[in-house]
């Protein structure tokens, strides 16, 4: 991860009181972070007669079954599929574009400042306004907004700056001596990229892919004005909030968080395995 650094406490000396104060604060923060989410995961297993608050009246899976039944929730499974497809494409494009750009920013080039500040502006721009602008553009071109055109584009304005800044962190730690060694051994630029640079950056690149996937999968503010007629899952959930007052909404929340956790877990597992293999290959 991004966080390195060293503890300045000398081992063996006792912990100062600030350690315990901050540890307590950190613990409370984690409780604050996860507590409400845990409540809705538990409530999504509410019994058929229970409501949207405690107490639990037995446990059941009826609220999950509700999602698959035809009716009010009919759009959930379809929109889930759309979200996965869109997130996969966004993730691929983000990796390809931001890895290339990350490599470009290793040297100063004319116009680098412009591109950098465009990325910063794109990141801090109020999300809905990005969708508004793109929507106006599509109107001006007399084109209907849709999932894989305007929505895809709106999401890229969000995932690309993240990908770029993540690549900065990855590239900063890259030791250029490896590339020089490849040059000295007669590698072409392509061989150097394919067999030296990319494999070394791979854990960071996998991280960018995951970040882009989850950001796209959960995005709603930039997408909502340019989605066209077929909603993604977050927009479908957004539309349901005001009408649904049963634990079904929590069941959807449990499933979509489960998907996010699965993606995060698989990614971390891959990165960890790569690093372990690398540590084994390089005698220190």
50 lies in the binding site for another protein (CB under 8 A): no
Take residue 43 and report the two structure tokens written for it: 């409530």
133 lies in the binding site for another protein (CB under 8 A): yes
Number of residues that bind another protein (CB under 8 A): 106
Q: How far is the CB of 226 from another protein (least distance, A)?
A: 10
Candidate list 103, 202, 206, 274; residue touching another protein; CB under 8 A = 103
Cα 48 from Cα 61, distance rounded (Å): 8
Residues in the chain: 284
Q: How far is the CB of 15 from another protein (least distance, A)?
A: 8
Candidate list 56, 84, 89, 104; residue touching another protein; CB under 8 A = 104
Q: How far is the CB of 18 from another protein (least distance, A)?
A: 7
77 lies in the binding site for another protein (CB under 8 A): no
Write the burial class of residue 207 (CB in 10 Å: 0-12 exposed, 13-18 middle, 19+ buried). buried
Q: How far is the CB of 203 from another protein (least distance, A)?
A: 13
Take residue 117 and report the two structure tokens written for it: 């500040």
Residues 1-20 binding another protein (CB under 8 A) are 1-9, 11, 15-16, 18-19
Q: How far is the CB of 281 from another protein (least distance, A)?
A: 20
143 lies in the binding site for another protein (CB under 8 A): no
To the nearest 5 percent, what fractions of the chain are helix, strand and coil?
70, 0, 30
Residues 158-187 binding another protein (CB under 8 A) are 160, 164-165, 168-169, 172
Write the burial class of residue 178 (CB in 10 Å: 0-12 exposed, 13-18 middle, 19+ buried). middle
Q: Which of these ranges, 64-72, 73-81, 118-126, 276-284, lies near another protein under the rule CB under 8 A?
A: 118-126
Write the burial class of residue 75 (CB in 10 Å: 0-12 exposed, 13-18 middle, 19+ buried). middle
If you search the block for the tokens 């730690």, which residue do you land on? 173
Cα 271 from Cα 268, distance rounded (Å): 5
112 lies in the binding site for another protein (CB under 8 A): yes
Q: What is the DSSP string of 233-253?
A: HHHHHHHHHTT--STHHHHHH
Q: Which of these ranges, 84-92, 95-103, 197-205, 276-284, lies near another protein under the rule CB under 8 A?
A: 95-103
């Amino acid at each position: 991860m991004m966080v390195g650094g060293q503890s300045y406490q000398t081992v063996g000396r006792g912990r100062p009181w600030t350690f315990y104060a901050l540890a307590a604060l950190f613990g409370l923060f984690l409780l604050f972070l996860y507590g409400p989410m845990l409540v809705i995961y538990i409530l999504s297993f509410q019994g058929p007669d229970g409501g949207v608050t405690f107490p639990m009246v037995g446990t059941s899976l009826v609220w999950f079954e509700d999602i698959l039944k035809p009716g009010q929730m009919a759009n959930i499974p379809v929109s889930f599929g759309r979200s996965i497809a869109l997130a996969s494409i966004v993730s691929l494009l983000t990796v390809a574009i931001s890895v290339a750009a990350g490599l470009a920013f290793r040297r100063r080039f004319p116009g680098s400042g412009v591109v950098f500040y465009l990325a910063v502006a794109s990141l801090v721009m109020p999300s809905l306004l990005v969708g508004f602008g793109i929507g106006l553009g599509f109107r001006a071109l007399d084109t209907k907004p849709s999932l894989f055109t305007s929505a895809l584009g709106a999401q890229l304005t969000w995932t690309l700056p993240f990908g770029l800044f993540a690549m900065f962190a990855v590239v900063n730690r890259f030791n250029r001596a490896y590339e020089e060694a490849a040059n000295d051994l007669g590698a072409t630029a392509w061989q150097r990229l394919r067999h030296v640079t990319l494999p070394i950056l791979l854990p960071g690149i996998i991280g960018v892919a995951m970040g882009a996937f989850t950001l796209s999968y959960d995005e709603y503010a930039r997408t909502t004005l340019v989605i066209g007629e077929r909603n993604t899952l977050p927009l479908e959930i957004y539309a349901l909030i005001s009408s649904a007052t049963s634990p079904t909404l929590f069941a959807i929340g449990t499933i979509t968080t489960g998907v996010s956790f699965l993606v995060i877990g698989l990614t971390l597992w891959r990165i960890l395995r790569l690093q372990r293999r690398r540590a084994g290959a390089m005698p220190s």
